[in-house]
Amino acid sequence: MNVKISTLPNGMTVATEQMPHLESAALGIWVKTGARDETQGEHGIAHLLEHMAFKGTSRRTARQIAEEIEDVGGELNAATSVESTAYYARVMQDDVPLALDILSDILTDSLFDEEELEREQHVILQEIGAAEDTPDDIVFDHFQAAAFRDQIIGRPILGTRQTVKSFSPEQLRSYLSRHYSPDKMIVSAAGAVSHEEIVRRVEEAFAGVSTPKPNIPAVTPARAPASYTGGEFRQTRDLMDAQMVLGFEGRPYYARDFYASQVLSLILGGGMSSRLFQEVREKRGLCYAIYAFHWSYSDSGLFGVHAATGENELAELAPVIADELMKASEGITLEEVTRARAQMRASLLMSQESPASRAGQIARQLLFAGRIITNEELMDRLSAITPQRLAELAGATFAGKMPTLAAIGPVAALPSLGELELRLGGTAPAATRTAARH
């Protein structure tokens, strides 16, 4: 690992890692802003802006953007998440300057043409409709909304039909100017790249973009702190199977138990050898798919279990999952910890063989940790995680805690949130719980 980092005069960070023997490169611009930074009236604008960035500049039409990158066999894409937005490309070594020029062009000179905006709004409305028709996808949106009830962090990234249709070019420009400042942007590249050349080209391309001075009052409102509420969402639909997510508050990026939570999720539901897969799917046959996950944000997180099953199995499935979570607080074996460490180590090292994965990893570490976390440091942190610590973490995460439940499909037989809470050692009556039922 040999990452080079430079900070430009305007505050933008450039980070690169040259990967020997590669003839291609992955590069992109990651911005520390996402759906969570929208105001109440901007729901979905972060995602819409990401789409509109590819719809034409003063130098290139939308078609020319697509043709120029594909003429050299490259790829261009973008993604919006809760706390960040990324614009990235994959090209051959000689075409890195072209990719950088296109990326800088779309982020500094997008036109936001009204006709293009209308077309792209229609495209996103189709995305919203497709998500609603995909239960195993939309159930996670409802899970997030129930976990962070009535908060911006709990809203779906795509927005709503009403908000998406309401945005104007002026609103897009306002959001861009408030959130896309150089001090919140990371240019990251990996593969066949030259750090000095990328620094020079980025500095030229973004020379006219400056970071607000410290003595000027911020025009961007501060993020509202996340407040985990727990709760439930149920939607009865005439489907062949039921999609269910049961979860709890997790750990933020900076928390002591962030990596321990990742390890715990692997032990519980990270593969075919995991506890939930073996007990729930293999031994009892209560579902056809099950896994655990841990999502982190800057000030909170979510630890959850997703399962897909038939209507007849649902009544037994949820209590068994709850029981398995509680069993984790009673003890974790050294064998399980060793296996989870190996999974994390292999996943990390394998991902570093891909320039696209490596560029993204570098950018995310700089955005959310403020520095590069070396493989050696990560391995040391994993080695410090003991079975006892994981058992204590399981107890602190699950036992007596307010759960979040989201379910879609034939869910009439699913136990109430209050019943599951009692099974997890809680005492609050079900009547006190907020639920959304459709």
- Annotated catalytic sites, by residue? 50
Measured at the CA of 247, the angle between CA 432 and CA 361, to 5 degrees, comes to 145
**Number of other CB atoms surrounding residue 227 within 10 Å:** 14
Distance CA 56, CA 298 (A): 33
Q: Give the DSSP H/E element, type plus range, for residue 27.
A: strand 24-31
CA-only gyration radius of the chain, Å: 23
Residue ranges of alpha helices (H) inside 212-288 are 258-269, 275-276
- Residue 156, classed as helix, strand or coil, is coil
CB burial readout 305-323, b (16+ within 10 A) else e: bbbbbebebbeebbebbbe
Contact 95, 74 (CB under 8 A): yes
Distance CA 214, CA 181 (A): 13
Q: Which two tokens stand for residue 126?
A: 């189709």
Is residue 438 exposed (0-12), middle (13-18) or buried (19+ Cβ within 10 Å)? exposed
Backbone angles phi, psi at 268, to 5 degrees: -80, -40
Distance CA 136, CA 147 (A): 17
